[in-house]
Amino acid sequence: MENFDKAAELDQLRQLYERFNGTEDRMIVDGVDHMNQTLRDPTKRIIAEGANATMLDMDFGTYPYVTSSSTTVGGVCTGLGVPPQSIETAIGIVKAYTTRVGAGPFPTFLPCETGDRI
């Protein structure tokens, strides 16, 4: 690493640290504390997304082809620290096919033109 400028690298890292962890508009926070402060503020609302669906949920999915998180509405409680009584609305979206993590089987795989289109 002949062209490595240690001082420039450290300066860039200090700038990033200040940007992420500075006093104004911090980008790194204690997630549980942040969620609880937001829940207590009547002017704020929280939207949480479990993008991977139930079949990939680590508790209810088709093991071993699952993610490492709880993707159902219960994951809002376990993953974000939101008490169940604070959840006002849950919206479920259904897709016409099942996806997998890694090389798992696709139960809805269609080896035809329709499958290619989906």
Write the secondary structure of 8-72 as one string of H (helix), E (strand) and C (coil).
HHHHHHHHHHHHHHCCCCCCCCCHHHHHHHHHHCCCCCCCCCCCCCHHHCCCCCCCCCCCCCCCC
Over residues 39-89, the pLDDT tens digits come to 999 999 998 887 677 888 888 888 888 888 888 888 888 888 899 999 999
Q: Return the domain boundaries, the chain.
A: 46-117
Question: Three-state DSSP class for 93?
Answer: coil
Phi, psi of 115 (to 5 degrees): -60, -40
Say what the pLDDT of residue 32 is.
84
DSSP state of 86: G
- Residue 113 scores a pLDDT above 70: yes
Summary mean pLDDT of the chain: 83
